[in-house]
Structure 1
Amino acid sequence: MGEWIYEIVRQGGYLGIMFLMALENIIPPIPSEVIMGLGGIAVARGDMHFWPLLFWGTLGSALGNYVLFLIADRLGYERLRPFIDRWGRWLTLEWHDVEVAGRFLRRHGHWVVFVFRFMPMFRSVISIPAGLAHMGHVKFFAFTFVGAAIWNVALILGGKWLGQTLAQAEQWLGWATLAVAVVTVVFYVWRVLRWKPRSE
């Protein structure tokens, strides 16, 4: 399974990495850990180089987050609330959660955007309250880019080590991708079935 994913990453090149990393932040087809991990394996095998991989992967991650930021920034609280109220069950989210995230961001400042880049469950989500708070665009992009770059360095080096240590490293990452996808779907279904708005 891992071989075809590796071939997609390798043949897509750096622009393919950028596209996958941008898409991963909006509609996650493959986790960023797998994308950059496979990129690290490609570095170990001489199919890619570290610095271009880091730059294009980080740019894709920043652009994907910026899309979410722009949507929230343009919609604002008033127009986003009806959407959350209507689709909250399927998002397993309600307006109270958005307000809590917004207050947390305002209380702790823009560094929250940077710190959350190291938290798998919140890396993309934090872009929404940042947009709702109308954080400066340049500041948001810069904090996101730097935070994503640090995280991607760790992922690339981890993938490179795996590629140098295991002959079939992409197989391990392939099965890891499948396991993550299954766990994510099961967890989402469980959340939807168990989710109830606070008003109930």
Structure 2
Amino acid sequence: MFDFITSLLASTGSLGVAALMLVENVFPPIPSEVIMPFAGYLAANGDLSFVSVVIAGTIGSVAGAFLWYWIGSAVSEARLRRLIARHGRWLTISEQDLDRSLAWFRRNGGKAVFLGRIVPGVRTLVSIPAGMTGMPLLPFLLHTGSGSLLWTAALTISGYLLEAPFAKVEM
């Protein structure tokens, strides 16, 4: 996986960064923790622009988050309740669990989306309740964009600062 990501970034540049970050948000096993630091390394070497890497990573991340937001809004709370009623025992979730989760998200939606964009594993999932609870699109995009910008910039900076020893980290 590492070799695929590094060769793709080396050949496609910022467009590859955006594409991989979009895919990372849709299919989490492709880690941003590999994509963005390597892109930062390429920026430190002068192969890519630091600013374009951060912008491309943020755009890809927001695009992937929007897809999950849209899925969350399409699924709807009523559909999820029917699924839980039928299969909740196997999914280990009850309607009371759903009620508590959605109530918490409605109280903390903006903060949850912003902070969720920084936490691995949560990054993908936080967009679903945002869409499901009807969080307005503009606040969702602002919280997602600012959290994603912070995350992609931090990872890019780490790769930029690791420039010389990056080959050792790869092993």
Aligned twin of 2:170 = 171
Would you say 1:154 and 2:139 are equivalent positions?
no
**Amino acid in the other structure paired with 1:94:** I
Asked if the contact 1:38–1:170 (Cα under 8 Å) also holds between the matched residues in 2, the reply is: no
Aligned twin of 1:187 = none
Aligned-partner Cα distance in 2 for 1:23–1:79: 26
Query: Secondary structure in 2 aligned to 1:163?
Result: coil
Query: Secondary structure in 1 aligned to 2:48?
Result: coil
Aligned twin of 2:143 = 143
- Call closer, same or farther: CA 1:4–1:131 in 2, change over 3 Å: closer
Asked if the contact 1:102–1:129 (Cα under 8 Å) also holds between the matched residues in 2, the reply is: yes
Query: Identity of paired residues, percent?
Result: 33
- Give the gaps of 5 or more residues in structure 1: 173-200
**Amino acid in the other structure paired with 1:10:** A
Asked if the contact 2:41–2:166 (Cα under 8 Å) also holds between the matched residues in 1, the reply is: no
Aligned-partner Cα distance in 2 for 1:167–1:54: 19
- Give the gaps of 5 or more residues in structure 2: none
Aligned twin of 2:45 = 45
**Amino acid in the other structure paired with 2:6:** Y
Q: C-alpha offsets along residues 149-190 of structure 1, whole Å, 9 cap, x if unaligned?
A: 0111110010111123x1515624xxxxxxxxxxxxxxxxxx
Aligned-partner Cα distance in 2 for 1:120–1:42: 23
Aligned-partner Cα distance in 2 for 1:41–1:124: 25
Aligned twin of 1:73 = 73
Q: How far is the alpha carbon of 1:109 from its aligned partner?
A: 4.0
Asked if the contact 2:2–2:34 (Cα under 8 Å) also holds between the matched residues in 1, the reply is: no
Aligned twin of 1:13 = 13
Where has structure 1 moved over 6 Å in runs of 4 or more? none
Aligned twin of 1:183 = none
Aligned twin of 1:35 = 35
Q: C-alpha offsets along residues 20-69 of structure 1, whole Å, 9 cap, x if unaligned?
A: 11111111242011110111111111111111111111010011011000
Query: Secondary structure in 2 aligned to 1:153?
Result: helix
Residues 72-151 of structure 1: pairs in structure 2 closer than 5 A = 72-83=72-83, 86=87, 94-96=93-95, 97-151=97-151
**Amino acid in the other structure paired with 2:20:** L
